[in-house]
Amino acid sequence: MKLHFTGELSGLLSGIQVLAPELGIEQDEEGLKVEVSASSQGLEVGLAQGKAYIRHEKKHQFFRGLGLLIQHAGSKTAFEIKEEQHLSTIGPMFDLSRNGVLTLESFKFMLRKMAVMGLNTVKLYMEDTYELSSEPYFGYMRGRYSYDELKEIDDYADQFGIEAFPSIQTLAHLEEFLKWEPVAKYKDTKGALLVGDEAVNALIEQMIDAVSAPFRSNKIHIGMDEAEELGRGKYLDRNGYHDRFDIMTRHLERVLAATRKRGLEPMMWSDMFLKLASKSGDSYYEEGTSISEEMANRIPKDVSMVYWDYYHTEQEDYEKLIAKHRPLGCNLVFAGAVWVFNTFGVNYGLSLKATDSALQVCKREGITEIYATMWGDDGNESTPLGALLGLQFYAEHAYTAGSPSWEQVSDRVKFCTGIEAETFLRLKDLDETPGAVPGNHKQSNPSKFLLYQDVLLGLFDKQIEGLPMADHYAKLEQEFAANRVKDAELDYIFDVPQKLCAVLKQKSELGIEVKRAYDEGNHAELRRIAEEVLPALIKAVHELRLAHRSQWFRIFKPFGWEVIDIRYSGVTGRLDTAAMRLLDYVEGRVKRIEELEQERLVYSDNNPFNERGAGWCSYYYRMASPNVFFHVLNPL
């Protein structure tokens, strides 16, 4: 489509030029005239009598408006769209600390999609994946970003009116830095800094300087979440027992002194204060928790509190938890999630329901700064590109007074990404399997534990007993294959799910079949499994690994892939050993297979027998084996 832009174009032309190829537009004086002007009424886009207009209040709204214009102008029918932005700040938080560090090109790709959606912020979660010149072990071999890379991201985002800023850790969640022996002086416990120590104070100042320097924004997220071990390690040895709230507030004041000195606007996760106020001392969502007046008076007010909640699906839960935050007296920010954590897919059943409830409440409560976290827990097997439907849902919520219609979300995501909403939704079925509760609200993740569990040990076999998992994955494989669009820019992200289904239709119930044949003394079946089934399965896992490797190197830096590579090698290695063990048994070289003599037990409290889901496991090493993967002599 040829367009001729006129009017107030200051600061917009570079963004238009970058988006032109993706939107299929060309700037031409003979094209459709598009009058661009400022507005005090949000966003207005229209077409009438052969002329178009985009009126916007904020820079980022222009690029949403441009997308809406292209989306609707194709019919050449007159139209008018008026939108008010009900959430002032909205965008994703990319987890860049759990193996998957986005390349600059894939980060820019996401920013372009965000621009057309109308999102206006992006938070970069970096525990140690940025350069700290004074500390060579900071982010060592972890794909850390350089100053120049972060500045390039910031410059690129700014073209579209998107505010980029860093999210770091200044207390806990620093295991990957503190694991190195040369930096032991900074360590209290495995993941927490030794607060109060002058070397640690100096380190934090250096961290804040280094990570804030590349960004235009004055915002900085200083972390401080999930620091339950605070003061319980070297700090305790050095200083004796101190109340954790006292330690926390003293440390927070020290960090805020550093941000104040630099004119930064800090925010932090709120959970530690609510945990410390709870009866148990460690529960974020505990009933009956209240912030006392004494506690509230000691908490600084020049730091925004980020209430994170990825789990609740009912509006009343958010109303209650927001009310618990109010006595803190700080500006309140909300962080929800698009559930890409601990899975190969995306739990859209939970993500969309939780997001809809949370954002409706936030609008009523006047909380207008919203982030969609996309954590990469335990290896980052999924991809943030699969979460684009979730981000679209956040975007449409921002420009809708109540809840956006599904038709609106579907139309927009197809335009913005080239992929049908239903195709994105199919990613949820990797885990929304037989045995899952409706919508998978209990976070079952069989796509991961059924891949990594050992065929001979069968840790999850009892968990899925009687569930038609193989049939489910066979059908899902066909659905992925039938709905692929080879010419679509994002079609490649569905290759891994399709090939994973090809593996799981063979592997998901195989341990049960092996155990049954062994218990029945069916040597012929055990031989068939060893000589036919297991070799075919090894080949399917190899094809999955190659597809995943291709996807990874297209999206992420190479650092971190070695973890997934090792996991796949573990799967094929154990399948090969299983074949050997079965043949040794049927050919009489061993009298029994001890692994198959063991009774199968339910793995977790989340199971179909108590209607709590098909199962959940957070850690690969627990999926692969019940034995010791590593032994930490000194956990501190």
Q: What are phi and psi of 614, to 5 degrees?
A: -85, -10
Residue 30 CB neighbours (<10 A):
7
Q: Average of pLDDT values for 281-297?
A: 92
Q: How many percent of the chain have pLDDT more than 90? A: 96
Residue 605 CB neighbours (<10 A):
10
**What tens digit of pLDDT does each residue of 508-550 get?**
999 999 999 999 999 999 999 999 999 999 999 999 999 999 9
One-letter identity of residue 434: P
**What tens digit of pLDDT does each residue of 160-213 get?**
999 999 999 999 999 999 999 999 999 999 999 999 999 999 999 999 999 999
Query: Does 282 score more than 90 pLDDT?
Result: no
Q: Say if residues 53 and 335 touch (Cβ distance below 8 Å).
A: no
Q: What is the pLDDT of residue 202?
A: 98
Contacts with 528 (C-beta within 8 Å, 6 or more apart), sequence order: none
User: Using CA atoms, how far apart are residues 149 and 143, in angstroms rounded to an integer?
Assistant: 11
Q: Say if residues 119 and 90 touch (Cβ distance below 8 Å).
A: yes
**What tens digit of pLDDT does each residue of 587-616 get?**
999 999 999 999 999 999 999 999 999 999
User: Using CA atoms, how far apart are residues 65 and 528, in angstroms rounded to an integer?
Assistant: 61
Average pLDDT, the chain: 96
User: Using CA atoms, how far apart are residues 390 and 387, in angstroms rounded to an integer?
Assistant: 5
SS3 128: coil
Tokens 């002058």 appear where?
198
Query: Does 218 score more than 80 pLDDT?
Result: yes
Q: What is the pLDDT of residue 435?
A: 97
Q: What is the pLDDT of residue 634?
A: 54
pTM (two decimals): 0.97
Could you write out the DSSP letters of every residue in 268-331?
EE-HHHHHHHSSSSS-SS-TT----HHHHHHS-SSSEEEEE-SS--SHHHHHHHHHHHGGG-S-
